[in-house]
């Protein structure tokens, strides 16, 4: 594509790339048609055509805190594609969206519902909602309802909904969404737990939501949900943990264990290619070990002779933390006949560091035996009895009980 390319050429080129790389099972020919028809650049008029049709998120509302995440973004187009594929919109559907953004996603959904359908989109920020309203009116989607309100409240005045989608990271599942989604309807949301985020496609059953699909994604967190915790381990603020409110994790209790850097390093026979995703390891840990959380380590902490072992992904690696001990995922290059590969292992620190490293290694080997297997996720209203805990890892949040199992 050259700088003289016209919008529809850029748009079709982007969609071609997205379709080619779409995750297995998450392709929908009607979503492809919608993304070729609806002009993304009209919803982000301040962006260049090249940026509008690049496969990346675009900030539309900055945060006054320079160290914080933006307040609103236009989602990355490939994520838009697979989330709408998860949603499975049918002609005539009544749809609720939490997080209006630019209005582009609502326009795609309105296109997919056809003349008999309807779309209601909500945003907490008045100026963001106003932008979405103006852009939808200007692009022929004036019948999309745009409401300025907390997305967690939903819009009961237009319920029940056949489809519900959140385009913000959701840590807890508001009770209002249960009430407003019809039995048999679908809900897609970027669900956050144990330091990770996955787009989960749920089907509403009488007493629960049952997952049908999972995909890796990243979204700005929903305003008003404060169940996620974070904290630095060391005085130099180089090592940081992210965990959930129900977990008894206290970063400062790990300070001595990391400062002494007495390392327990365990390597497995699990080998990965340079670009092979490691997301399934984290999913498996979250379903099978209650100590699972996230660790980020700045480069200064693992350089030099006395540093920590480098995490597999320094900015985003799974860890196990109990008391004054932790273990996290590591890798190292190895030479094999098929080319450069990486061997996976675990680095443990603290009195129980070796045991935690062994637990992590067990799950590495299990993942290595079946790298495509995904867990099932069931969501129940808070307080619902869910039977034998061995049926899956139970994670309780204020409004929802998750059961994650393999």
Distance CA 13, CA 7 (A): 10
Distance CA 400, CA 200 (A): 15
- Which among 165, 204, 164 has a CA at the least distance from the CA of 184? 204
DSSP-H helix ranges across 261-348? 279-288
Q: Please say whether the beta carbons of 70 and 87 come within 8 A.
A: no
From the list 5, 22, 48, 75, the catalytic residue is 75
Query: Known catalytic residue: 176?
Result: no
Three-state secondary structure along 225-266?
A: CCCEEEEECCCCCCEEEEEECCCCCCHHHHHHHHHHCCEEEE
Q: How many Cβ atoms sit within 10 Å of the Cβ of residue 322?
A: 22
Distance CA 338, CA 269 (A): 15
Q: How many Cβ atoms sit within 10 Å of the Cβ of residue 173?
A: 26
The span from the first CA to the last CA of the chain, in angstroms, equals: 44
Instruction: Tell me which residues are annotated as active site.
Output: 75
């Amino acid at each position: 594509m050259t700088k003289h390319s016209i919008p529809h050429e850029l748009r079709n080129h982007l969609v071609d790339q997205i379709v080619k790389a779409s995750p297995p099972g998450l392709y929908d020919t009607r979503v492809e048609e919608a993304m070729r028809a609806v002009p993304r650049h009209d919803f982000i008029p301040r962006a260049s055509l090249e940026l509008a049709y690049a496969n990346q998120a675009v900030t539309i509302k900055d945060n006054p805190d320079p160290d914080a995440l933006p307040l609103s973004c236009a989602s990355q187009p490939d994520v838009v594609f697979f989330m709408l594929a998860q949603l499975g919109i049918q002609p005539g559907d009544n749809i609720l969206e939490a997080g209006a953004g630019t209005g582009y996603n609502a326009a795609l959904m309105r296109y997919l519902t056809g003349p008999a359908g309807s779309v209601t989109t909500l945003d907490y920020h008045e100026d963001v909602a106003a932008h979405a309203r103006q852009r939808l009116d200007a692009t022929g989607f004036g019948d999309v309802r745009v409401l300025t309100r907390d997305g967690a409240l939903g819009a009961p005045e237009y319920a029940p909904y056949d489809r519900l989608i959140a385009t913000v990271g959701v840590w807890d599942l508001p009770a209002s969404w249960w009430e407003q989604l019809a039995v048999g309807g679908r809900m897609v949301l970027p669900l956050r737990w144990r330091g990770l985020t996955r787009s989960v496609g749920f089907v509403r059953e009488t007493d629960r939501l049952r997952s049908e699909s999972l995909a890796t994604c990243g979204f700005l967190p929903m305003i008003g949900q404060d169940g996620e915790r974070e904290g630095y381990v060391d005085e130099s603020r180089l090592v940081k943990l992210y965990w959930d409110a129900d977990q008894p994790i206290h970063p400062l209790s790990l300070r001595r264990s990391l400062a002494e850097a007495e390392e327990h390093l365990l390597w497995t026979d699990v080998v990965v290619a340079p670009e092979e995703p490691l997301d399934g390891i984290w999913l498996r840990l979250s379903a099978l070990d209650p100590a699972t959380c996230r660790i980020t380590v700045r480069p200064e902490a693992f350089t030099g002779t006395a540093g920590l072992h480098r995490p597999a992904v320094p900015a985003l690696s799974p860890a196990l933390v109990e008391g004054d001990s932790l273990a996290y995922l590591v890798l190292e290059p190895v030479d094999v006949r098929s080319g450069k590969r990486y061997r996976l292992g675990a680095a443990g620190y603290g009195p129980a560091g070796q045991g935690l490293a062994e637990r992590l290694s067990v799950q590495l080997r299990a993942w290595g035996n079946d790298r495509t297997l995904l867990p099932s996720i069931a969501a129940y209203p808070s307080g619902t009895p869910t039977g034998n805990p061995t049926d899956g890892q139970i994670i309780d949040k204020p409004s929802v009980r998750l059961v994650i199992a393999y």
